[in-house]
């Protein structure tokens, strides 16, 4: 345990030392959201969102880039030290390399998709597009990446079951590929949607990841435990600068990569059923947005005054820090309950 706590501390220190120069670098390169005039999935203006987020104009976007780079660097560095000092790397699967491959590919592939979308949003390469990439194009790429990752989970790890605590284990064969793809894409977008208030997504993710870290340590899975530890240190350092009023945002680079990898960790640990509970806040956020989207598409009207849920609370008059802090508390409760379910027989 002390090794992983050391990893968290080193990751925190390195991220904390580099993040201020990185913020200055983003300002210098004008890596900032130039406007808060956004559009929804139907290419219509979102005046309510713009009203509550206009003051965020000019804040650097790209915190996810720094966390991702340092997390990957430290992850491989500590793996190398494990080999150097001949420490055993225990995995719950036959191939340690395959586990590392899936974690890193998810982290980086969704991150590259996110950074491309961030660049489009910031520099407005194609103004006619929805928030950077067209929504359908972005979704197609996410599904493709999710299918690749899910195929590896199915073939490399031979995962084709879903364990429902207190009920039983169900074998679903190749349908697992479709199931896990849906889970990965859903959480990638859920974290992206949640990342709308200062400290909201990063704080919720921090508490949720801690639950998966507890689970990975309980089953002695070294690669996943080590990866989560390096990631947690970066998130803690980032959150220090992301709380209200934020000096830096995750951007799609971080939100997409972090959401997809969060889902993959849950799948690798065999906790598909506990995943939506541990990440309950993200589920509520994306569910409210999806219901709103379906209402507009099939009923021609809004189901809620505004979505996602945190924006509706702003419309009701709740102050931003109040919403974030209460969501953190709810995230802790979800994480604790999710752990209880995860350890259920």
Residues contributing to the annotated binding site: 192, 252
Contact present, 75 and 226 (Cβ < 8 Å): yes
Binding site, annotated residues for Mg(2+): 192, 252
**Of the candidates 109, 115, 111, 142, the residue with the CA atom closest to the CA atom of residue 61:** 115
Among 335, 273, 280, 338, smallest CA distance to 309 is for 280
Tell me how far apart the alpha carbons of residues 331 and 183 are, in angstroms, rounded to a whole number. 19
How far apart are the C-alpha atoms of 37 and 39, rounded to whole Å? 7
Question: Which residues are within 8 A (CB) of 314 and not within 5 positions of it... i.e. 6 or more apart?
Answer: 52, 197, 320, 323
Cβ of 220: how many Cβ atoms within 10 Å?
11
Contact status, residue 194 vs residue 201, Cβ threshold 8 Å: yes
Distances (CA, A) of 247 to 24, 27, 61, 101, 123: 10, 11, 9, 33, 20
């Amino acid at each position: 345990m002390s090794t992983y706590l050391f990893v968290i501390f080193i990751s925190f220190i390195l991220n904390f030392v580099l993040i201020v120069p990185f913020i200055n670098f983003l300002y210098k390169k004008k890596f900032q959201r130039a406007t808060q005039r956004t559009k929804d999935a139907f290419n219509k203006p979102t005046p309510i969102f713009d009203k509550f987020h206009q003051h965020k104009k000019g804040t650097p976007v790209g915190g996810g880039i720094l966390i991702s780079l340092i997390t990957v660097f430290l992850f491989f560095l500590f793996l190398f030290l494990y080999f150097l000092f001949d420490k055993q790397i225990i995995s719950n699967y036959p191939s340690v390399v395959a586990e590392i491959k899936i974690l890193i590919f998810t982290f980086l592939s969704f991150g590259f998709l996110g950074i491309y979308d961030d660049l489009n949003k910031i520099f407005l390469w194609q103004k006619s597009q929805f928030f950077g990439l067209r929504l359908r194009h972005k979704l197609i790429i996410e599904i493709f990446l999710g299918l690749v990752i899910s195929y590896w989970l199915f073939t490399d790890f031979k995962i084709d079951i879903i364990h429902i605590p207190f009920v039983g284990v169900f074998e679903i064969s190749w349908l697992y590929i479709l199931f896990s793809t849906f889970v990965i894409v859903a959480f990638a977008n859920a974290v992206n949607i949640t990342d709308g208030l200062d400290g909201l997504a990063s704080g919720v993710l921090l508490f949720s990841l801690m639950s998966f870290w507890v689970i990975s340590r309980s089953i002695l899975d070294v690669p996943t435990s080590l990866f989560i530890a390096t990631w947690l240190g970066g998130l803690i350092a980032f959150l220090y600068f992301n709380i209200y009023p934020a000096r830096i945002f995750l951007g799609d680079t971080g939100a997409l990569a972090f959401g997809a990898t969060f889902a993959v960790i849950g799948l690798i640990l065999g906790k598909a059923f506990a995943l939506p509970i541990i990440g309950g806040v993200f589920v509520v956020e994306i569910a409210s947005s999806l219901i709103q989207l379906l209402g507009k598409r099939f009923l021609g009207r809004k189901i809620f005054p505004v979505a996602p849920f945190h924006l509706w609370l702003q419309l009701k008059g709740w102050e931003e820090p109040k919403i974030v802090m209460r969501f953190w508390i709810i995230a802790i409760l979800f994480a604790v309950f999710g752990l209880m379910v995860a350890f259920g027989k």
